[in-house]
Chain A
């Protein structure tokens, strides 16, 4: 069945270091992927997305890498700051389907140590 998983439930990094959050997906037909950030007491917020015809996309301090061969997605955060502390979710979508919908992973909690 479909599943989206993150490798580690919790990631602890030092302020200023780079963070890498990983995600494995199982549906090879998925063609669109999104990373969300959820801070305490808030709903998930869009960070960055990538389509399957790309293998890398950069935003402000964030980079998403997609490896379709091994069905792996990662989110890299440069110079991690305390404000980056949150739960990060990856989500996949098969937009060519009848009712394309986002399937979310379980989430990785990023803890930034000062």
Chain B
């Protein structure tokens, strides 16, 4: 148990659905991240939040919409996704504001887009 909890663990959705991924961290950290992990590719950073403010959007398509209501919770809202968006979506948190240092990961949400 890393202190970062992601729900749901698995999600299957159609291309016209709207769904949300949730991440909660119990570590008292100030920074939270969304990553996409596809087979045979390095982890891709999607979004970074520091003290609830978005500080990085790594050219992510608008069909992915993050939300960070407080330093402990992070959401990723999904709508009109494509099959190539199927992947493992990982949430992480870290104590450091600027992203330096150890990031602690959740177990991820395995997303399948049909």
**Is the pair B102, A34 in contact by a Cβ cutoff of 8 Å?**
yes
**Is the pair B98, A98 in contact by a Cβ cutoff of 8 Å?**
yes
Q: State the B residues within 8 Å of A (CB).
A: 2, 4, 6, 40-43, 45, 48, 55-56, 90, 92, 96, 98-108
**Is the pair A101, B105 in contact by a Cβ cutoff of 8 Å?**
no
Query: What interface size band does chain A fall in?
Result: 20 to 34
A88 within 8 A of B: no
**New A-B contacts (15) at CB < 8 Å, excluding given A99-B56, A99-B98:** A4-B42, A32-B100, A36-B105, A42-B107, A43-B6, A45-B2, A46-B102, A46-B103, A89-B43, A95-B98, A99-B99, A100-B100, A101-B45, A101-B48, A101-B99
**Closest A residue, CB atoms, query B106:** A43
Cα A81 to Cα B104 with chains together (Å): 24
